[in-house]
């Protein structure tokens, strides 16, 4: 009787409990990104990774984007550019209608070094949903991982040892594009009804959330840039979840405002009809008003410019305007008949 009472009380408290903080109200709540990254770690190639994503026993995929009451099939498409891989997780929701759910960015950083992140699509997860692996540390006895509450040091994890990573960078790799599409699925897959969100989230939290954490920094910049123009979006999904996005944006805006209560207010600009602040003190303004205004001196007449002596045309005009003065010429003495300085007297004739 006591056990039945305890069970009934626990069930009542669970039903009346508030929504879990990880619930955003967006469709991305039904596909756990950390769980997808965990399945990628255990997969040997992208084909086995796609199979694990669509396994109901893994409890990672719980999406029903088209609202038909059945979980959508997730196909895997690799967009490769040299040593960079942008692996898209794509939900098949109709005839020639797909929606990218997330992108796994993988970049090679050295000879045997690689970094990985999973980025949720904004249509399903809102702003930025980025997850990456946490470095696994053993305790002093070597019997398990360190305490999960320990602070993260911000060092990216080298994932070169993951089987799927070495396969992607192997010499025999051929770019993988899932062959399955709407109404054409593998024989082993059968759709199922989505689980309740609390059941889905509780399973993922217990099995997948310990080794992966959220971050706001993108380390796979090349993969993210290369994937951008290749992203696949569905107009059906956009219209169906438009109200959920508006509610999410309103809640996110309120949270950001509440986190900045001491923000410095902006200085109000004076309006045109407001009284402007004086630029000088009152006594200075009074002195300026009482100072007599000095009369302006009449402008001096401009002196006519002298004619240009070097210009023949101006010289002629100047000679016409002024009376011509007589000029005195000096006769130079001739060398053959030099003149004396004595007065010019005529000699008498006859001698």
pLDDT, residue 301, reads 58
Q: How many domains does the chain have?
A: 1
Residue 5 located in a structural domain: no
In a domain, 286, yes or no: no
Chain mean pLDDT for the chain: 76
State the pLDDT confidence band at 11, using cuts at 50, 70 and 90.
Answer: very low
| SS3 per-residue string spanning 110-157 | ECCEEEEEEEECHHHHCCCCEEEECCCCECCCCCCECCCCCCCCCCCC
For residue 172, tell me if it sits in a domain: yes
Residue 217 lies in a domain: yes
Given this model, what pLDDT does residue 118 score? 98
Whether residue 300 is contained in a domain is answered as no
In this prediction, residue 147 carries a pLDDT of 43
Q: How much is the average pLDDT of 335-343?
A: 49
Q: Is residue 269 part of a domain?
A: no
Determine the Cα–Cα distance for residues 27 and 125; give it in Å rounded to an integer. 7
Residue 135: which pLDDT band, with cuts at 50, 70 and 90?
confident
User: Under 8 Å CB-to-CB from 58, ≥6 apart: which residues?
Assistant: 35, 39, 52
For 82-130, how does the pLDDT look when each residue is reduced to its tens digit (9 = 90+)? 999 999 999 999 999 999 999 999 999 999 999 999 999 999 998 879 9
**In the predicted model, is pLDDT for residue 237 greater than 70?**
yes
Query: Which residues make Cβ contacts (< 8 Å) with residue 149, sequence separation at least 6?
Result: none
Contact of 120 with 102, CB cutoff 8 Å: yes
Distance separating alpha carbons of residues 261 and 252, to the nearest angstrom: 15
How many whole angstroms separate alpha carbon 347 and alpha carbon 345?
A: 6
As a whole number of angstroms, the distance between CA 72 and CA 240 comes to 15
Decide: helix, strand or coil at residue 46: helix
Instruction: Using a pLDDT cut of 70, give the percent of the chain over it.
Output: 60
Question: Is residue 274 in some structural domain?
Answer: no
pLDDT band at 251 (very low <50, low <70, confident <90, very high): confident
Q: For a pLDDT cut of 90, what percent of the chain falls above it?
A: 52
Q: Which residue has the higher pLDDT, 292 or 250?
A: 250
The range of the structural domain enclosing residue 79 comes to 24-138+151-257
Residue 172 has pLDDT above 50, yes or no: yes
* Tens digits of residue pLDDT in 37-62: 999 999 999 999 999 999 999 999 99
Q: Is residue 301 part of a domain?
A: no
């Amino acid at each position: 009787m006591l056990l039945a009472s305890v069970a009934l009380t626990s069930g009542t408290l669970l039903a009346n409990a508030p929504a879990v903080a990880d619930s955003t109200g967006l469709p991305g709540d039904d596909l756990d990104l950390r769980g997808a990254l965990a399945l990628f770690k255990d997969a040997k190639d992208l084909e086995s990774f796609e199979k694990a994503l669509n396994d109901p026993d893994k409890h990672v995929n719980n999406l029903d984007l088209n609202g038909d009451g059945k979980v959508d099939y997730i196909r895997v498409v690799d967009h490769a550019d040299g040593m960079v891989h942008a692996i898209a997780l794509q939900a098949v929701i109709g005839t020639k209608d797909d929606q990218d759910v997330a992108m796994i960015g993988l970049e090679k950083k050295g000879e045997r070094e690689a970094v990985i992140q999973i980025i949720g699509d904004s249509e399903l997860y809102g702003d930025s949903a980025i997850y990456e692996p946490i470095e696994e540390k053993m305790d002093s006895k070597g019997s398990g991982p360190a305490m999960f509450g320990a602070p993260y040091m911000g060092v990216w994890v080298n994932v070169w040892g993951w089987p799927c990573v070495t396969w992607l960078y192997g010499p025999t790799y051929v770019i993988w594009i899932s062959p399955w599409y709407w109404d054409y699925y593998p024989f082993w897959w059968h759709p199922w009804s989505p689980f309740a969100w609390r059941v889905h989230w509780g399973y993922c939290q217990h099995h997948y959330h310990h080794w992966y954490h959220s971050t706001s920094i993108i380390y796979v910049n090349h993969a993210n840039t290369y994937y951008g123009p290749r992203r696949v979006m569905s107009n059906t999904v956009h219209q169906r979840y438009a109200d959920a996005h508006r509610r999410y944006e309103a809640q996110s805006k309120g949270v950001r405002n509440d986190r900045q209560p001491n923000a410095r207010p902006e200085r109000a600009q004076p309006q045109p009809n407001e009284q402007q602040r004086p630029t000088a003190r009152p006594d200075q303004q009074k002195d300026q008003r009482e100072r007599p205004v000095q009369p302006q001196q009449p402008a001096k007449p401009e002196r006519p410019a002298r004619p240009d002596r070097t210009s023949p045309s101006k010289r002629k005009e100047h000679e016409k305007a002024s009376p011509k003065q007589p000029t005195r010429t000096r006769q130079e003495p001739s060398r053959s008949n030099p003149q004396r300085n004595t007065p010019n007297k005529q000699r008498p004739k006859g001698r």
